[in-house]
Amino acid sequence: MKGYLFNGLLVIAGSVLGLLVGRKIHDNVKDEVFNVLGMVTAFVGIKMSLNGSDIVPIVFTLVLGCFAGSALRLEDRLHGQLNRLNESYLSGKYDIEGFLTASTLFCVGSMTIIGSLKDGLYNDGTLIKTKSVLDGFASFVLASRYGPSVAFSAITVLVIQGALTIFSGSLTFLAAPRMMNNIDGVGGIIILAIGLNLLKLKTIKTIDMLPSIILIMLYGIWVV
């Protein structure tokens, strides 16, 4: 089974298990487990960001990307669209924050890119399946807090990782060490922001930060 399919299935399985078990766990226990996920997410983000090779471009693309995302109101617009879909077709019963948090958490970082490229180019799914297990655990914890919307993040995983795997032959430039380090540098800061949000230490619009990933890739293509 291809890694992106395995990853999507584990996200769904983790979410379903989180929904079933979450109902039987006391809120205080769920809060503690959720805090652990927040701390681990923040730690992973810090560790990833330290891989960055070119500090000045990383800072520049983060600032410019955040400015662009905020100016375009990406997170607000996406929230609005998802809320409308939720109200129109799902009776407004899902918490879209779970979908957005899980989608960003599961698809930002070098494990997603390198794992998918290895799976597509060499039929080596080891890395992406390791990531899948981690995502399954995270979806379990997230679903216990946010509800069924977390399971829908499997769609995001299937689309993004599936595209990277299927078109891996044309995307080998993403696997260059310096490119990956800089993607980790930017992606790690975004993951750190997700961790801070999960811990409720700060409210950061992480969707508005995503253009930074595209900018650091363009820097790697045109400048490096």
- CB distance 10 to 132 below 8 Å: yes
Local structure of 172: helix, strand or coil: helix
Residues 6 or more apart whose Cβ sits within 8 Å of residue 122 = none
Residue 224 reports pLDDT greater than 80: no
Whether 188 has a pLDDT exceeding 70, the answer reads yes
Per-residue pLDDT tens digits for 91-115: 667 788 899 999 999 998 778 998 9
Whole-number Å distance between alpha carbons of 135 and 41: 11
CA angle (172 as vertex; 177, 135 as ends), nearest 5:
75
pLDDT grade for 31, boundaries at 50, 70 and 90: confident
Q: For residue 135, with 0-12 CB atoms within 10 Å meaning exposed, 13-18 middle and 19 or more buried, which class applies?
A: buried
Residue 153 has pLDDT above 90, yes or no: yes
Q: How far is CA 14 from the centre of its chain?
A: 16
Phi, psi of 176 (to 5 degrees): -60, 135
Exposure string over 56-67, b if 16+ CB within 10 A, otherwise e: ebbeebbeebbe
Tens of pLDDT, residue by residue over 113-135, are 989 999 998 899 888 999 999 99
**175: region left, alpha or beta (phi > 0 left; psi from -120 to 50 alpha):** alpha
Give how many domains the chain has, as a whole number.
1
DSSP class of residue 176?
Answer: S
Joined tokens for residue 216: 């650091």
Closest-CA residue to 121 (of 171, 184, 180, 178): 171
- Average pLDDT of the residues of the chain: 91
Contact 66, 214 (CB under 8 A): no
Q: Supply the pTM of this predicted model.
A: 0.86
Domain that holds residue 96: 3-222
Q: Do 100 and 142 form a contact (C-beta atoms < 8 A)?
A: no
| Helices within the chain (DSSP H only) | 3-22, 27-49, 55-71, 74-89, 96-107, 110-122, 126-146, 153-166, 177-198, 211-222
Residue found under tokens 């395995």: 6
